[in-house]
Amino acid sequence: MIKKNKILVIDDTEDILEALELVLTNGGFAVDLATKEERVYEMMAGHEPLPDLILLDVLLSGQDGRMIARKLKDNTKTKHIPIIMMSAHPDVEKTIHKSGADDYLAKPFEMTGLFSKIHKFI
């Protein structure tokens, strides 16, 4: 059995999560969805298997995705996981690299652009 690369998608918009789950699953990936940062901390604590890549919204309800990315990159267990930040706010791109994120994807995005970014890392 071939292992599928696992992508964790963290976004607080259910429609975006559903669309990304469908597209990524059809693209051959295993997909895990989260609307809150708690899933990230469960992973860091070892309660969840680690993903091969994280798609992370910059602005989550009550939490800044850049802070989550910084925590992941500062943790020895999760620092190797590529993080692609997503946002509909164009000014945000300038600030995501300070968080340690590996790349940025502006919303709305084309699926070819999404897969292109993902395939840079996995």
69: phi then psi, degrees, rounded to nearest 5? -60, -45
Q: Whole-prediction pTM value?
A: 0.92
What are the counts of helices (DSSP H) followed by strands (DSSP E) for the chain?
5, 7
Domain spans of the chain? 6-121
Q: What is the CATH number of domain 6-121?
A: 3.40.50.2300
* pLDDT tens, N- to C-terminus, the chain (122 residues): 567 999 999 999 899 999 999 999 999 999 999 888 777 778 777 777 899 999 999 988 778 899 999 999 999 989 999 999 999 887 777 788 788 999 999 888 888 999 999 999 99
